[in-house]
Amino acid sequence: MNKKERITFIIDELEKLYPKVPIPLEHKDPYTLLIAVLLSAQCTDVRVNKITPILFNKADNPFDMIKMSVEQIKEIIRPCGLSPMKSKGIHGLSQIIINKYNGEVPADFKLLEELPAVGHKTASVVMSQAFNIPAFPVDTHIHRLLYRWKISTGKNVKKTEEDAKKAFPIDLWNKLHLQIIWYGREYSPARAWKLEKDIITSTIGRKKIIKEYIKSN
């Protein structure tokens, strides 16, 4: 297959598997999604979804969040890892959202990335999933799969995002990035990978990766 055919194949297969795709992190509005995504850095979505109900029971909006101390927030989110940095970020961004944006999360990439502890990926997830503005957040699954599928060189996540945006139609970005994440988890993980179950990679994947898999099994 040439690149155009591979892209069409990927889109079609993912749509068959995930016609309706759930958002991995549980939330009720842009603010709770922002906090959940921040907590997900170097932490599984499963664990985040266990911790956020505890945190949001005490504070599910920036006004209540700043009533808590950084130390109180840190104790609640400790199981998610990086709690000193994340707790300061949550408290700090909540104060800024109140002071600068009347308590509402700004629907703007640049403004989101200016918030404490909010990087490009976090901003992209919020823009895509909370505001339905086209974005292509790249996590480890997307980075791995777009390399396996010969869509990107795999040099770094920034390059992967650039390649993904060039390859796929903009009107598919918001749904497609979630479809790829779920596919990566279910069919094409980094570990305990079963190539025979991974129809996309086994059909269009890099020959080098497939040969290495066959040798190791």
Residue 163: active-site member: no
| Interacting residues of 40 by C-beta distance below 8 A, sequence separation 6+ | 25, 48, 80
Residue 88: active-site member: no
What's residue 185's pLDDT?
A: 95
What's residue 26's pLDDT?
A: 95
Looking at the predicted structure, is the pLDDT value of residue 103 above 90?
A: yes
What is the spatial distance between Cα 180 and Cα 71, in angstroms, rounded to a whole number?
A: 37
82 Rama sector, left if φ>0, alpha if ψ -120 to 50, beta otherwise: left
Answer for the pair 202, 196: CB distance below 8 angstroms, yes or no. yes
**Which residue among 45, 74, 121, 198 is the active-site one?**
121
Looking at the predicted structure, is the pLDDT value of residue 217 above 90?
A: no
Question: pLDDT tens, 119-166?
Answer: 999 999 999 999 999 999 999 999 999 999 999 998 899 999 999 999
| Interacting residues of 24 by C-beta distance below 8 A, sequence separation 6+ | 45, 178, 181, 182
Domains of the chain: 3-21+137-216 (1.10.1670.10), 30-129 (1.10.340.30)
**Quick one: which of 134, 127, 94 has its CA closest to 108?**
127
Question: pLDDT tens, 177-194?
Answer: 999 999 999 999 999 999
What is the spatial distance between Cα 95 and Cα 90, in angstroms, rounded to a whole number?
A: 9
Q: Is the CA virtual torsion 108, 111, 117, 120 positive or negative? A: positive
**Which residue among 60, 74, 86, 139 is the active-site one?**
139
Question: pLDDT tens, 30-81?
Answer: 999 999 999 999 999 999 999 999 999 999 999 999 999 999 999 999 999 9
What is the spatial distance between Cα 73 and Cα 78, in angstroms, rounded to a whole number?
A: 8
| Interacting residues of 159 by C-beta distance below 8 A, sequence separation 6+ | 152, 153
Q: Percent of the chain scored above 90 by pLDDT?
A: 96
Task: Compute and round to an integer the Cα radius of gyration of the chain.
Answer: 19
Amino acid (one-letter) located at 98:
I
